[in-house]
């Protein structure tokens, strides 16, 4: 009888741990897809390692695609939410919208829809802010950067103001194209996100 109780207790503990474990869904572009890198060196892989090190059982699903825009992410999101049922959605999009000169209002509308749909599915949302190089003009780059803060305030969601803080504009941390973070920058990207991400787990 004692053996049965022990077995039942262990089974309940395992069930509780599995119930507590959630899924983190990352919907991003080339920065999170690890463009130009061995994906094992990318910040998303480093996040998986950090979660294990700190005792979290959460599963990470990286649904990032190089070249994706906010419109592309919005189109893909419903199927991703239905398939993975995440507890947390990390949105890392907008860079390609900016590089293509798309209107910041369109970016804001697309991200707002992604936030709303993620929440409707029961997920928390973390927004990663982006900025553009100054050669796109101050008026446009300012309008672009302001999108993220406005959304975070309006939707009352956590924000990493600039995902590439300490990386963008540093040639030694960027690949030769000047657009994508190098392998040496990936740990910094994780550190930019982790303090805001951890309380959401």
- Is 30 among the catalytic positions? yes
* From 30, 64, 70, 118, the catalytic residue: 30
- Is 177 among the catalytic positions? yes
Sheet strands side by side (includes 23-28)? 59-62, 23-28, 88-92, 124-128, 159-160
* From 29, 32, 70, 180, the catalytic residue: 180
Instruction: Report how far residue 42's alpha carbon sits from residue 187's, in angstroms, rounded to the nearest whole number.
Output: 8
Parallel, antiparallel, or unpaired for β 59-62 and 124-128?
A: unpaired
| Of 176, 143, 185, 179, the residue nearest 67 (C-alpha) | 179
| Of 195, 108, 119, the residue nearest 143 (C-alpha) | 108
Strand partners for 26: 62, 90
- Is 97 among the catalytic positions? no
List the catalytic residues: 30, 177, 180
């Amino acid at each position: 009888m004692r053996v049965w109780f022990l077995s039942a207790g262990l089974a309940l503990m395992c069930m509780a741990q599995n119930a507590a474990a959630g899924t983190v869904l990352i919907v991003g572009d080339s920065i999170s897809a690890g463009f130009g890198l061995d994906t094992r060196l990318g910040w998303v892989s480093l996040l998986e390692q950090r979660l294990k090190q700190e005792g979290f059982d959460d599963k990470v699903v990286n649904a990032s695609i190089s070249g994706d825009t906010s419109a592309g992410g919005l189109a893909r999101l419903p199927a991703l939410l239905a398939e993975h049922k995440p507890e947390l959605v990390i949105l890392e999009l907008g860079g390609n919208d900016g590089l293509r000169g798309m209107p910041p209002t369109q970016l804001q509308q697309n991200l707002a829809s992604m936030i709303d749909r993620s929440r409707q599915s029961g997920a928390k949302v973390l927004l990663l802010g982006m900025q553009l190089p100054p050669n796109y003009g101050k008026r446009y780059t300012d309008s672009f950067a302001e999108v993220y803060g406005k959304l975070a305030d309006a939707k009352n969601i956590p924000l990493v103001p600039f995902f590439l803080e300490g990386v963008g504009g540093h040639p030694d941390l960027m690949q030769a194209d000047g657009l994508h973070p190098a392998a040496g920058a990936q740990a910094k990207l994780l550190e930019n996100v982790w303090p805001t991400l951890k309380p959401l787990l």
